[in-house]
Each structure stands twice: as structure tokens, then as C-alpha cells.
Structure 1
Amino acid sequence: MTVNPKFQNKEIKKGLYIIPTPIGNLRDITYRAIEILKKSDFILCEDTRISRKLMEKFEVKSKLLSNHKFNEKKNLSLIINHLRNDKIISLVSDAGTPGISDPGAILVRECVKEKINIFPLPGPSAVSTAVSISGFSEKYFFYGFFPSKLKDIKHDLKLLSQLDSSIVFFISSKKMNKTIPFLKENFSDREILICREMTKIYEEYLRYKVDDLKTLDENLKGELTIVISEKKRTKKGSLLLSESDKNNIRKMIKKLSIKEIVNLISQNNAVPKKKIYNFCLKIKNEA
């Protein structure tokens, strides 16, 4: 069966559309995103120069309006008025999902307050992309960008280290090397994934144990997405065999091999396998 990717001329509901844009490879944008961008009255852009390249590639002719962290409050009343007048407005950032460590949250909150329709589109996100290949816990805490002062970074890392989940944050490559000592101090025994240039030609994924982190190449540029693994879990319990375990071993010793008994008992037990083995051997010799 052949699928025709051409867009249908169906009516789009009026309101604000949150449209994720590629984090690197421009082909990662969805058909629906392009369709809505083409039918938008205005497209709010973090940087119109960057967004224009994307729009030109997909022949989007809609008007671009600058909407970044320095003017989004100033723009608010004008945009809300347009939305009240049944305009279709799309919000994009330079890369990824708007409102996630990018401008957009202020406008969304105002639309919620004014009961204006907001429609989110699924799409590219550096956060979920990095977590998906980390191999760490699927439960994660997303922090975003760190503050500018190192003392504040140190304070926040100490708080984050108490979380028993994967931790995701963004950081500039220039600031990363200064942060490494604080990572080692707070996340010893954990693992770390460093993602740079994701989905681009020179994409790179660096995996380390936090304790083994070394200074990164000084020529490294751009923003990094970092994922730190969850805490290592240790089995809780006594390091001595309980009377219940001993009785179970006595019952199993004539039916199972010592190796099988050791594996069964150690599954939910913190007792070293060597101790279990020695007790099994003792019981077997007594029989």
C-alpha cells in the first residue's frame, strides 16, 4: 500500500499550537507540524533567523514573529488579542519542544488563564531522546539549565543527588569541565551519559562512570544533554543465614545441587554466596 504524504485541506481549530522542531536533523519534523505551520496566521519564533531556515526548507510562508525570553512578556497582550480574534498561532523554539527550558511557559499560562485553546504536538525533545538511549531508569527528573554561578550549581547538585531516579540536565560545554568536580563529589558510584550534537552529522555519546570523568576537550562547543543514572541499589538484610533459610537448605540438600540451592537462596538475600555455599557443604557432609 502506498501512503500519500500530501496534506489534506481539513480545517484546523483556532488557538495556540505548541510545535516541537528538530533538535538537529531537519527531517525529524512531522507532517502534521508542517501542515499546521503552513496554516498558521503567525509563527512565534525564539530566533527568526534560525526558524526561517526550517520554514524555507518546507515552503512555509506564514508570518514569523520574534518571541524570546527578553520580549515574551512584552508580546503577551498582543498575542492574546490575536488568539481572542480566532487567529491560529504556532509557537516554536530554535530546537525541541517550546516551554521546556525554552520560551513559551508564560504564554501557555496566560492562555490557560484566559481559557484559550492550546494544542500540543508530539515531537523532538532532547530530554526524551537522551533518556531513551541511556540504559538508566525510565523514571527520571528533568532539571533543565543550571544557574550561572558555580556555588548555585554546587548547591543544586547536592539536592539532586538525593533523588533515586535518573537525572537529566542541560549545560554548556564550556561550563561542563568546571562542574565535573561537583559531579564526582555528589554522584560517586553512578554512571553518566554525555550527549552532544544529537541527530546531527557529528553526534556523539560519551559514557563514563562518574568517578572516572575526565576533563573534556576544550574545543567542545554548544550545549550538552547530560543523563546521570539512578542510585545503585544494595540488597537489604542480614549478612547471616536466618533459621528459616537454614531449614530450607536442609530440605533441599537431597533434591538439588549446591549450586542450585545457592542461586535460589541468594535471589532475595544479602548473605554472600560463599556463606550459603559453605553452609550447604557442611549440611551435605553431615548427612
Structure 2
Amino acid sequence: MKHQQSYDNETKAALYLVPTPIGNLEDMTYRAVRLLQEVDIIFAEDTRQTRKLCSHFDISVSLDSYHEHNKETKGDKILGLLQEGRQVALVSDAGTPLVSDPGKEVVRRAAGENIPIISLPGANAAVTALTASGLGGGPFYFHGFLPRKKKDRQTLLEELTTIQAPLIFYESPHRLKEMIAHLADIWEKREVVLAREMTKKYEEIIRGTLSELAEYLHEENVKGECCVIVEGADPETEPRVQWWETLSAVDHVQVHIDNGMSSKEAIKETAKERGVPKREIYAVYHDL
């Protein structure tokens, strides 16, 4: 067991996860500004974007990049600085680091070295949209961005179908129409809220059913970053659907093989899940 005492730190080394505004600069907290002014270095998803923020708040600390394409080498650099006793801040382009943004790997590595990881509260598009949606007020399931390929997206959505809490997704405007049409095919009558440009001048919240939203988007183009919140499953009207029900027996076996099982193990597991004799799945699978 490792026990972090965040503010009882002899070396003073710490990795700060600092949220930045998702649109309105007034959402930057006093504490976030102070820490960004005091740390030794800031690692940002996009230094050009963060430089604008630093300029606005008179933050003169040096910047370096940390993003999906350099996270291994820059992770080494961050760990080295922390081991030297430096204080490092990690920020994303907008919102809270690690919420659909890079950072997981370096946080895990710092935790493994017993280096304090201090996360600040602040701006987050998902929670901001949820509280205004009319669907919040209890448990919720945050997923973020869905897979781009329709087949992968279909498999995932089938797994999410039985979740009874509101489902929160992010999507870019140029893929939104296709994504909503796909959701409407599966959950046609469920309520949905589309929140776009949250905290910005053109903030807009659209409420309706998925079929209504799909029809609206067929006629209208929307701009800006989007958060989509879908009503959770109604256990009385939506019986539990097994993730494999739309797959053939052969495809069912192949999913288990792709996840690391041998063909023998995959056939056995498929037969168990489908409630049929193993020999039946064996015969189908080997009769290719």
C-alpha cells in the first residue's frame, strides 16, 4: 500500500493536474492561476493554446509539450524533473487533464515513484453539460469519444445498452450527425441532450429524443465541441441484451480469440455464454 500525504512533502516535488477553462476565461480559479505561476514548468497538450492562457494571466513559467504523440519521451522528462524535486503542472487544451485527454501514463508512473499527484477542481465539459441537461442528479456514466468505425461503435453501444444511468459522450461537429444517427438506430425513443460550446458566447442546449435530434441534424449543421447526454436504460421497457446477441457463433468465438483465448478456450466460453453444447459451437466453427 502507498499512502500519499499531499501537503506533507519534504522534497516539495509534486505533479499538479490543473484544469483550464473550456471557453470562458473567467472560469480559471485563483488557485489554478497561482500554481501555474509558482511551478517550475508547465507541460501542455498544445503549447500555442496554453501560451495564450499564460499571457492573459501573466504566467511566465516555461512551457513544454506533452501529448499523445510524445507522451513516452516527455513522460521520461517529467519523471526526471520530479525526481530532482521540481514542481510540474500538466494542463490540457481545455478542461480537466486526463478526462479524454493525455496524462494517464505519467500519472501512473509518478504514483509508482511515490511522488504526490495533486489534482485541482475546475472546468469540465461533461459535468457542466450534465448539470444543465435535466438528466442529471444521480449516477452517470462518462465515456468520452466513441470509436470512429461503425462496427466498433456498434459493439460498444450494445455493451452500454443496459446501463441505467445517463450516458455522456464527446463528439466533434463533423462526426456528430453520423454518431447521432447511429444512436437513434439503437435507442430511438430515449431522451437526449446536445450541449455545444459550453460556457462560450454561442452556448446552446438542445433537448428531445434521439430520433428527433437525428432529424434535426439532418437539416441543420452545428459548430463547436459537443457533449451528448443520453437517457439511461429503462429496465422495464429495455430487457437486458447480451453483448454477443447480434454476432454469429463464429464471430462470437473470434471475439474471444482476439482477446487472447485459444480457439479451444474460445469455443468453450462461447458455448457457455450461449447456453448450448460445446460440440455445437465446435461444429459450426470448424465447418468453415
CA distance in 2: counterparts of 1:182 and 1:161, whole angstroms:
13
Aligned-partner Cα distance in 2 for 1:230–1:18: 31
Structure 1 letter corresponding to 2:224: G
Instruction: Give the 5 Å matches for 1:48-87.
Output: 48-87=47-86
2:196 corresponds to 1:196 = yes
Structure of higher CA gyration radius: 1
Mapping for residues 1-287 of structure 1, pairs under 5 Å? 13-137=12-136, 138-213=138-213, 214-216=215-217, 219-232=221-234, 234=236
Provide the rounded CA distance (Å) in 2 between the counterparts of 1:219 and 1:36.
Answer: 40
**Aligned position for 2:245:** none
Gaps of 5+ in 1: 1-11, 236-287
**What do the CA deviations read for 1:70-118 (whole angstroms, capped 9, x no partner)?**
0011111111010011111000000000011001111101111111111
**CA positional deviation for 1:197:** 0.6
* Mapped partners of 2:212, 2:46: distance in 1: 38
Q: CA RMSD in A?
A: 1.9
Q: Could you tell me the TM-score, scaled by structure 2's length?
A: 0.74
User: How many residues end up aligned between the 2 structures?
Assistant: 225
- Identity over aligned pairs, percent: 39
Q: What TM-score, normalized to structure 1?
A: 0.74
Aligned to 2:260: none
Shift of 1:223: 2.4
Letter in 1 for 2:148: S
Kindly state the Cα deviation for residue 151 of structure 1 after the two structures are TM-superposed. 1.7
> 1:133 aligns to what SS in structure 2?
helix
Q: Distance in 2 between matches of 1:219 and 1:49?
A: 28
CA distance in 2 between counterparts of 1:204 and 1:106 reads: 34
Shift of 1:146: 1.3
Q: CA–CA distance in 2 between the matches of 1:32 and 1:47?
A: 22
Which residue does 2:240 correspond to in 1? none
